[in-house]
Structure 1
Amino acid sequence: MEAVLSRKEQIEKTATALFRTKGFSATSMRDLATALGIEAASIYSHIKSKEEILQRVCFRMAQEFFEAIDAAEALEGSATNRLKRAITAHVQVLTQNTEASAVFLHEWRHLSEPMHGTYLALRDKYEARFREIIRTGIDDGEFAVPDEKFAALTILSSLNWIHTWYKPEGKMTPSEIAENLSEMLLNGLATN
């Protein structure tokens, strides 16, 4: 049974869907009100602005990514195993809510200061977690990559398009996607 959403949660969910399909800039409060079947003025009794919704989506998703990587790194192990768990954690967050993932990955540019700067700092901190795992793997002789930042960006770029093609009813579960992507990203396509 699906939980009953509060009006604020309904507004956020509907706005997230609109931000994904139309983009943040092209979505008006009137569009949101129409989609919700209410008067535009009544939205303001629940939220201050559409940017407030964008902030809530972006920072909630950031928190989910950090919680997931924290859990993935809580277990000891080789850099390879830690990187696989980090990839799996990232895929799990992306596939739990593809609309919010798309907004988080693409619409953050519309955040105003100081939230824009805060978002960028969080993104850099998250990316640094992947770089650190890769650096450890280089130091331990597990990975042969010329630059850990390049490797981290390649991995994250590959993962961050999942929201464009993932379907819950598709051929692979999020766990299978994570496993396949981990194998491809860590081992390449060559046969040995």
Structure 2
Amino acid sequence: MSRKEQIEKTATALFKSKGFSATSMRDLANALGIEAASIYSHIKSKEEILQRVCFNMAREFFEAIDAVEAKEGNATDRLKRAIAAHVNVLTQNTEASAVFLHEWRHLSEPMHGTYLSLRDKYEARFREIIRSGMNNGEFTVPDEKFAALTILSSLNWIHTWYKPEGKMTPAEIAHNLTEMLLNGLTSSKQALHDTYSHLNTP
């Protein structure tokens, strides 16, 4: 691991535990066991590290969902794969995931706006899958954006409790969450079916 990579890894851990604003260059230097002045030979500022973490994570999420959409399947299959891909990215590096999800607010312009644009585009990929399922009758939900945000919000807390040595693997977590989340998308469809059947029972 290069010195720059070591600085980024240590800073990411500090950003997660202390928050970006509360982390100083001196904190970073102390954690690395070096003089604060020597850090500047590798990075310009702590925001440079924040930018690298946020946009590297964004790239990983897009690469993951691109791979999902490269495969054929109905909306249910695609959504299952999208959820699994999202979980996989989150669990590969929980510290970077936490920074990506919570510390992006400290990005300055134009990076702040770029981040928001990328987040909207990523959410739109989930909305498109859900919309496709609504159109072909797989899902019955009142609003595709609400459904997409509910799913992503449920997934994005994983970094707070996931442990590599825990009882469930990322694949098992993805499977269990998928079963619960997809049940919410399809249960309303079943409720409508049951109501319709009841009304038409002699």
Q: TM bucket by the smaller chain? A: over 0.9
- Give the drift of 1:20: 0.1
**Within 2, Cα distance between the matches of 1:187 and 1:135?**
16
Structure 2, unmatched stretches of 5+, are 191-202
SS in 1 for 2:43: coil
Q: Distance in 2 between matches of 1:18 and 1:152?
A: 31
Counterpart selection for 1:53 from 49, 53, 71: 49
- How far, CA to CA, are the matches of 1:146 and 1:58 in structure 2? 32
Q: What residue is the counterpart of 2:92 in the other structure? A: 96
From 152, 157, 164, give the equivalent of 2:160: 164
Q: CA deviation at 1:187?
A: 1.0
Aligned partner of 1:84 in structure 2 is 80
User: Are positions 1:18 and 2:4 aligned together?
Assistant: no
Deviation for aligned residue 1:184:
0.4
Large movers: runs of 4+ above 4 Å: none
Q: What amino acid maps onto 2:146 in structure 1?
A: F
Aligned length: 187
> Aligned pair 1:183/2:183, yes or no?
no
> For 2:133, what is the secondary structure of its paired residue?
helix
Where structure 1 has 5 or more consecutive residues not aligned to the other structure, the ranges are none
Q: What does residue 115 of structure 2 align with?
A: 119
Distance 1:61 1:90 in 2: 11
> What is the identity, as a one-letter code, of the residue corresponding to 2:133?
G
* TM-score with structure 1 setting the length: 0.96
Q: CA deviation at 1:73?
A: 1.2
Q: What is the percentage of aligned positions where both structures have the same residue?
A: 88
What secondary structure, in the 3-state scheme, does the structure 2 residue paired with 1:123 have? Answer: helix
Q: In the alignment, which residue of structure 2 is the partner of 1:143? A: 139
Measure the CA separation in 2 of the matches of 1:148 and 1:7.
45
Q: Using the alignment, how far apart are the partners of 1:13 and 1:150 within structure 2?
A: 34
Aligned equivalent of 2:38: 42
Deviation string 1:146-191 (CA, Å, 9 cap, x unpaired) is: 0000000000000000000000011100000001000000014x8x
Letter in 1 for 2:169: T
